[in-house]
């Protein structure tokens, strides 16, 4: 089992009528996301939930770490929300998306 430490598991998912690759988050990354959720829930900022969405996608979508906040603002919110739900489900959190 030791040889599997650090192994990255990915899968392709639909995003805006195209495909992106998502990574299954490690226990450490999931714990980090949980901390981000706590901070977002305590924040009074209107942007806190969107910031959480951006952070989650940057963490788990291959290539998304290069996308600026301004670029994120050009995506439809529903598409970003669906993608974040895919990431959470793939990492064992939240509900499993239909069809999986």
Tens-place pLDDT, residues 75-94: 999 999 999 999 999 998 87
pTM, two decimals, is 0.83
- What pLDDT shows up at residue 37? 86
How far apart CA 74 and CA 30 sit, in angstroms, is 27
Rounded to the nearest 10 degrees, the angle between the axes of helix 77-90 and helix 48-60 is: 50
Q: What is the pLDDT of residues 26-73, one digit of tens each?
A: 999 999 988 888 888 888 777 888 888 999 999 999 999 999 999 999
**Higher-confidence position of 10 and 8:** 10
Q: Please report the pLDDT score of residue 85 as a whole number.
A: 93
């Amino acid at each position: 089992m030791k040889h599997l430490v650090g192994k990255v598991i990915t899968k392709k998912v639909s995003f805006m009528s195209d495909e992106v690759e998502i990574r299954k988050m490690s226990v450490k990354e999931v714990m980090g996301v949980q901390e981000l959720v706590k901070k977002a829930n305590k924040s009074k900022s209107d942007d806190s939930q969107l910031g959480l969405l951006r952070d989650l996608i940057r963490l788990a979508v291959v290539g998304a770490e290069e996308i600026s906040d301004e670029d994120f603002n050009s995506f439809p919110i529903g598409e970003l929300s669906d993608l974040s739900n895919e990431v959470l489900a793939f990492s064992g959190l939240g509900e499993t998306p239909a069809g999986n």
